[in-house]
Structure 1
Amino acid sequence: MPELDMLQEFLDGGQVDPAVFALRPDYRALLLAVDGLVPGPSDHASEEMLQAAESAARELLTDGPAEQVPHVAAWREAYQGFGAKPSRTRNSLEALLRRAVSGLPRVNRLTDLYNAVSVLHQIPLGGEDLNRYSGAPRLVRATGTEPFDTSADGAAVIEHPEPGEVVWCDDAGVTCRRWNWRQARRTQLGEDTTAALFILDALEPIADEALHAAAEDLAARLTLLGPDVRVARRLIAAGSPANERD
């Protein structure tokens, strides 16, 4: 099991390319590297969290459709900034809010947990299997040649992002397309995941305090998933020191 300083070292290698900050200077990424998780299928605790998130989403959407939620609207604008059509490829927060009306997916305890936290705090949030990473996470504007491991009609396929698209990647290829739209199959969380990377994405009007509150909520819930859970974190923002740790 990696020591805490090894988790922090992994996060220290993470980067957001200046071209991404040029597109959205208000962007912030809060990364959590977690080890010591006890994996498993959806359970009673994750079911309760999802039900709470569904109720919160339904109440939120009584005031208007998902695209009018301020943070969703900000992400729609960001998607347009690199040429994506937000009505066709929705950011992960909008997609979850829309699904919450009829019911959020039940996947596994880790995925259920971070989906619920995403909805409850209205922040896009992704989870990746840390043991399947090759190198550190990087957020870049794609060249269009990077491989993206996904599926189509039930079959595994390799696709490529559009040139200029904002993507998370590692040394082996794209791990998430269009900032926070679709994750690669290679690094998906599963019922055997014991170490994970979580990425919380924020744009204005989300304040740093709200971003950190979401991360604290996520970390607190993750520590309940095993007696030896370790959590390291790092905030990456434009114009800030190269590394900020809690």
Structure 2
Amino acid sequence: MTGPRALQEFLDCGTVDADVFALRPDYRAVLLAVDGIVPGPSTERSEALLVAAEASARRALADRSVEELGHIAAWRSAYASFGARPQRTRNSLEALMRRAASGLPRINRLTDLYNAISVLHQVPLGGEDLAGYDGAPRLVRAVGTEPFDTVAGGAPAIDYPTAGEVVWCDDTGVTCRRWNWRQGRRTQLREGTSSALFILDALAPMSDMALRAAADDLATQLLTLGSGVGIATRVIAAGATPSGGT
């Protein structure tokens, strides 16, 4: 998948089921499809972003617990609404915030970058390899028979979501379980990833302006990863029509 038109067409085919909006009418997502990424190890730039994110997390947690942060509390409530136990299955933002005190992971410049943006803007943010996708992304409430390509006991395994669980999926199966908890192996970012999908998930109290600022910051940082980087965006919200740009 290359070129802005192909990226935008991919995003415009993405959907969020009405059952998900019925569960949380305040849900919004920004999707970014990106190609032209030049893979590489962590850099001084990605290190500086992670250091800034760690400092931001320490400030946010100076006088309150992780669970008391507004957006994290909202996601814990959302998890409980479809039967997940938030104290055991933490959304991706909460998992990063809990690691920030001892240091965020250093993986490669692409992963470092989006982890830092997630913490800096206090938004769950998933990154996936577009080369692993089969069809457009869809957010649904699972039937329970959708395959999820994962790892168990250190070996590849197929798992299944529980009925009613909120999952991202494509035509082959689940790509991310429990909204923004755990990504699948089939579409995970790799050292050689050159095209990717990023999903920023928002609930109240996060405003549309704050969500857009996070997406803009992510796009700005992604543009530093190669001279030929192309980006398409799509905002999905209850009652909204497709909107995006490159």
Task: Decide whether the 8 Å contact of 1:57 with 1:97 is kept in 2.
Answer: yes
Instruction: State the partner residue of 2:243.
Output: 244
Distance in 1, matches of 2:90 and 2:216, equals 26
SS at match of 1:128: strand
Segments of 4+ moved more than 3 angstroms: none
Corresponding letter in the other structure for 1:214? A
Instruction: State the partner residue of 1:69.
Output: 69
Instruction: State the partner residue of 1:182.
Output: 182
The alignment covers a number of residue pairs equal to: 245
CA drift at 1:136: 0.2
Corresponding letter in the other structure for 1:204? A
CA drift at 1:155: 0.8
Distance in 1, matches of 2:105 and 2:150, equals 19
Instruction: State the partner residue of 1:78.
Output: 78
Residue 136 in structure 1 maps to residue 136 in structure 2:
yes
Task: Decide whether the 8 Å contact of 1:149 with 1:157 is kept in 2.
Answer: yes
In terms of mean alpha carbon deviation, does 101-110 or 173-182 score higher? 101-110
Task: Decide whether the 8 Å contact of 1:124 with 1:200 is kept in 2.
Answer: yes
Instruction: State the partner residue of 1:147.
Output: 147
Return 5+ residue gaps in structure 1 as ranges.
none
Distance in 1, matches of 2:42 and 2:154, equals 23
Task: Decide whether the 8 Å contact of 1:26 with 1:204 is kept in 2.
Answer: yes
Task: Decide whether the 8 Å contact of 1:145 with 1:160 is kept in 2.
Answer: yes
Instruction: State the partner residue of 2:193.
Output: 193
Q: Give CA deviations for 1:3-24 in whole Å, capped at 9, x if unaligned.
A: 1011000000100000000000
Instruction: State the partner residue of 1:223.
Output: 223
CA drift at 1:41: 2.0
Distance in 1, matches of 2:212 and 2:87, equals 29
CA drift at 1:42: 1.9
Task: Decide whether the 8 Å contact of 1:108 with 1:190 is kept in 2.
Answer: no
In terms of mean alpha carbon deviation, does 82-91 or 36-45 score higher? 36-45
Query: What is the identity percentage for the equivalent residue pairs of Structure 1 and Structure 2?
Result: 68
Q: Give CA deviations for 1:70-106 in whole Å, capped at 9, x if unaligned.
A: 0000000000110000000001111100000111111
Distance in 2, matches of 1:142 and 1:53, equals 34
Task: Decide whether the 8 Å contact of 1:2 with 1:35 is kept in 2.
Answer: yes
Distance in 2, matches of 1:93 and 1:217, equals 17
Distance in 2, matches of 1:20 and 1:177, equals 14
Give the TM-score normalised by structure 1: 0.98
Instruction: State the partner residue of 1:235.
Output: 235
Distance in 1, matches of 2:90 and 2:140, equals 19
Give the TM-score normalised by structure 2: 0.98
Return 5+ residue gaps in structure 2 as ranges.
none
CA drift at 1:109: 1.3
Distance in 1, matches of 2:106 and 2:149, equals 22
Corresponding letter in the other structure for 1:163? A
How does 1:154-165 map onto structure 2 within 5 Å? Answer: 154-165=154-165
Residue 90 in structure 1 maps to residue 90 in structure 2:
yes
CA drift at 1:111: 1.1
CA drift at 1:190: 1.3
